[in-house]
Amino acid sequence: MSTEVQTQFEVIVIGAGPAGLFAARELASAGARVAILNRDIKPGGLAEYGIYPTKHKMKEGLRKQFRQILQLPNLDYYGNIMVGENADLRLADIRAAGFKAILVTAGAQGTKWLGLPGEDIPRGVYHAKDIVYHYNRLPPNSLKDYYIGKRVALVGVGNVMLDIARWLARQVKVDEVMGIGRRGPAEIKFDKKEMEYVIANVDLAALDEELKRVAPVMESIGQDVNAARDFIHSALPKALEPVSQTRITLNFLYSPVRILGDESGKVCRLEIEENRLVRTDGDTKAVGTGVKRTIQVDTVIFAIGDKVDESFGLPVKWNQFVKNPEPRFPVEETSYEAFDPQAGQPLEGVFLAGWSREASTGLVGVARKDGERAAKCVLEYLETLPPGATAGAGEALRLRLQSLGKPVILKDDILRLEAVEQAEAERQGLEEFKFASNEEMLAAMGLALEARA
């Protein structure tokens, strides 16, 4: 796309996580005028609020890249703005402003549940996202009261489960953490590096007994129980020194079927069902055996993935926004184009990237690559539009934001906030300091509750 044509177009990116920011950089570098809308005050998304809080070097490296992106002269940032059917702006409002290319990188803000009896118990049942946002200090989760008892069940066996187990063992210091996976140890989804942070607290004798229990089921479909054991044990040489007596166990081939509460509205037990494994079309499937037992727990946290926000304003199927099955601008046979299945046609000029395209898939590196690919699709689409099709969209957006009557965060505000938090970290002798509420962040930026765009 030539610069002469590029500067005719204004593009909007919804979401300022890694996918959105790196996509915005590609678009701005190609000459387009880019506006970013972000739900949170701070940019970064899961890079800011999903990576474990003590991974300071990784997080600061990403923040440095994000600062450089936001300083691009043809890129505008608007934080503290919700997009959705019942939010600050609807997709229709964005179209009305004149943006013909919309890239949605808002993540997967919905929560996935299993629909079990007892999921609505008032205290002690949570989704992993709520807990991760809590200990990473994302408002309003940062200020919520989550009841964490002495015995915690984590449903799921991926990296998020291990992150939460790490927090429970090293920060909260509970008595016991029970990881529960519906399939076997050959299908675990976590990395060895993440296991290194918690394996010193894993009850290895109990793990050996668990592997002995599930070995016949694994061997019946050709799985190697010793390979699974070796993978988990491979984390031992670099195990992080424990700071608590928290006992972590891994329990395989179990599915939760019911959560039970006591008279006070707190979780007290979790009923689980044993599974067997079967091969179906080359895949492994867990099938319940009907054998059930109940374990005593105080808290149940579901780390089973996320889904998109159904109130965002795009068609949803199977927990994801619907994508064009026959994309006009595919990248490596992948569709980044939103699709209306009822009309049977693409949503003109609307693209998807990151977890908005495929929920709960990969972390920062994957999101970055996905955003950059989506930007390529957007640029190819812009080539098909007549020149001048989006002139004035940015000004129309600014006027609309100004009418909301709420603080709108700009690029310079973010720099001021970072400076204040850095100074506070130095004053307290901390590697990092974060304000826990939006009100504190607004005050630090000198905005308080004044409306401005």
428 burial level (CB within 10 Å; 0-12, 13-18, 19+): exposed
Closest of 354, 346, 348, 306 to residue 322, by C-alpha: 346
Number of other CB atoms surrounding residue 220 within 10 Å: 12
Straight-line distance from the first to the last Cα atom of the chain, in angstroms, rounded to the nearest whole number: 31
Per-residue b or e along 280-301, where b marks 16 or more CB atoms closer than 10 Å to that residue's CB:
eeeebebeeeeeeeeeebbbbb
Distance of alpha carbon 322 from alpha carbon 337, whole angstroms: 9
Q: Which helix (H) or strand (E) holds 213?
A: helix 204-220
Q: Dump the DSSP string for 332-368.
A: TTB--EEEETTTTEEEEEEEE-GGGTSTT---HHHHH
pLDDT digits (tens, 9 = 90+) for 47-78: 999 999 999 999 999 999 999 999 999 999 99
Sequence-distant (≥ 6) Cβ neighbours of residue 61 within 8 angstroms: none
Phi and psi of 320, rounded to 5°? -130, 155
Closest of 173, 230, 238, 190 to residue 207, by C-alpha: 230
Distance of alpha carbon 105 from alpha carbon 312, whole angstroms: 12
Closest of 65, 64, 55 to residue 372, by C-alpha: 65
Contact 222, 282 (CB under 8 A): no
Distance of alpha carbon 76 from alpha carbon 23, whole angstroms: 14
Residue 452 is predicted with a pLDDT of 53
pLDDT digits (tens, 9 = 90+) for 125-153: 999 999 999 999 999 999 999 999 999 99
The owner of tokens 């009418």 is 403
Sequence-distant (≥ 6) Cβ neighbours of residue 115 within 8 angstroms: none
Residue 1 is predicted with a pLDDT of 45
Distance of alpha carbon 238 from alpha carbon 243, whole angstroms: 15
Helix (H, G, I), strand (E, B) or coil at 35: strand
Phi and psi of 146, rounded to 5°? -100, 125
Contact 128, 160 (CB under 8 A): yes
Contact 297, 269 (CB under 8 A): yes
Residue 281 is predicted with a pLDDT of 83
The owner of tokens 């972590």 is 248
Number of other CB atoms surrounding residue 387 within 10 Å: 11
Residue 318 is classified by DSSP as: T
Structural domains for the chain: 3-109+307-444 (3.40.50.720), 113-302 (3.50.50.60)
Contact 184, 274 (CB under 8 A): no
Residue 280 is predicted with a pLDDT of 86
Residue 416 is classified by DSSP as: H
Contact 320, 359 (CB under 8 A): yes
Residue 2 is predicted with a pLDDT of 45
Asked whether the CA dihedral 151, 288, 111, 307 is positive or negative, the reply is: positive
Residue 144 is predicted with a pLDDT of 96
Residue 386 is predicted with a pLDDT of 83
Which residues of the chain fall below pLDDT 70? 1-8, 388-391, 448-453
